Structure 1
């Protein structure tokens, strides 16, 4: 545990590798679980980042209030870009945000983060239809269909195993589609300039499991 008083600079960001950033996330999550998170001088960090930012990663997360992205990875001001949408799937706007984060702003890691007991995934499993939620949940249906071929029992939210598999599949399929839909990110990954990875956050323990 340490006291953070300096924001990431361009020089620091340039020296980071995708694997170093991923390891930093894993170590940060371990500190979070152990209740040993770093402290930070927020006023100093605000001052240092007023004229620019050099985040190490972009995280695509669900909107769930129980998944505070910066906290669970023990990150602070200037460390990470965060894109959030119910069900943590990609769309054109989020892909553009990822491309900006990595190609323009220099981030080294794209992390797709699903989470245990995801309400959006449960709703997709139950084929809920309500206003704009219907179209939003269509993005999660490929994961539902994949899980239907992998998990026995009832294919709805009453089946915990089915929901868990769909949460995982939704992360994996989102990563696949990011590579398919963004030649920029696919090329950066091929050149080892970035890594695109996924994980699931367990709201019952605080642990992020890589998948």
Structure 2
């Protein structure tokens, strides 16, 4: 007795399933998303030189703001970091450099929802600008083409509290001394102690502006770039309680 032949050969059926699976995986992997410059491209790709060069400083700042809104809403872009790593292996064209604090709760790349290769990142307690940091910023902008310097402080900053309290501890003593002028310059009529979080945050804002002044006054490379419109130096405060990045004017 002959068995009834299957309506479709097994090989053809398997091939069909493989094709469907391959198509589904391809669609999932290619999902398009806005890149650093609003350019529609596969999100796994890095920011290219041509895309970076088309951006204005104001567009870069606006993209930071949009990224933070995504972070706050829990709708961050789907990052394929391995793909981003591969895409940047041959070169990098960051649009900005971020100078922020070392606080573990304030990772700038995450709270601004950026990719590998989008920004240079410098972190130091109290987001101060010393000679070495200025040299790093000069490299990022004058040598590598970044168009924005973002100095980002944050609320509840331990370095600010230490400066208010005149903490002395090894090399930290000298670092906190660089923040002390911001403490003295902050106009505040209430309790001027590190236990008063409102005062601490007021000093942190002053310190961001103080760092911006230090960059402008301390670098003969960056100051003319900003004057010529090739660079924009801006400040911001990251609010740890609600995740918002407040850009200062």
Instruction: Please confirm whether the aligned pair reaches a TM-score higher than 0.5, indicating the same fold.
Output: yes
Q: Which residue of 2 aligns with 1:6?
A: 45
Q: Which residue of 2 aligns with 1:134?
A: 173
Asked which structure has the greater RCO (Cα within 8 Å, sep 6+), the reply is 1
Q: Which residue of 2 aligns with 1:32?
A: 71
Q: Which aligned runs of 4 or more in structure 1 are off by greater than 3 angstroms?
A: none
Q: Which residue of 2 aligns with 1:18?
A: 57
Give distance in 2, aligned partners of 1:64 and 1:159: 19
Query: Secondary structure at the residue paired with 1:83?
Result: strand
5 Å matches for 1:133-172?
133-147=172-186, 150-172=187-209
Query: Secondary structure at the residue paired with 2:163?
Result: helix
State the 1:112 CA deviation: 0.2
Q: Which residue of 2 aligns with 1:80?
A: 119
State the 1:40 CA deviation: 2.1
Contact 1:151-1:161 at 8 Å conserved across structures: no
State the 1:34 CA deviation: 0.3
Number of residues of Structure 1 aligned to a counterpart in Structure 2: 209
Deviations 1:4-48 (Å, cap 9, x if unpaired)? 121011111110110000000000000000001111222222112
Deviations 1:158-189 (Å, cap 9, x if unpaired)? 22232111000000011011000112111111
Which of 41, 49, 53 is 2:92 aligned to? 53
Query: Secondary structure at the residue paired with 1:183?
Result: coil
Give distance in 2, aligned partners of 1:153 and 1:10: 50
Q: CA RMSD in A?
A: 1.2
The higher radius of gyration belongs to: 2
1:174 aligns with 2:211: yes
Structure 2 spans left out of the alignment, 5+ residues: 1-31, 34-41
Structure 1 spans left out of the alignment, 5+ residues: none
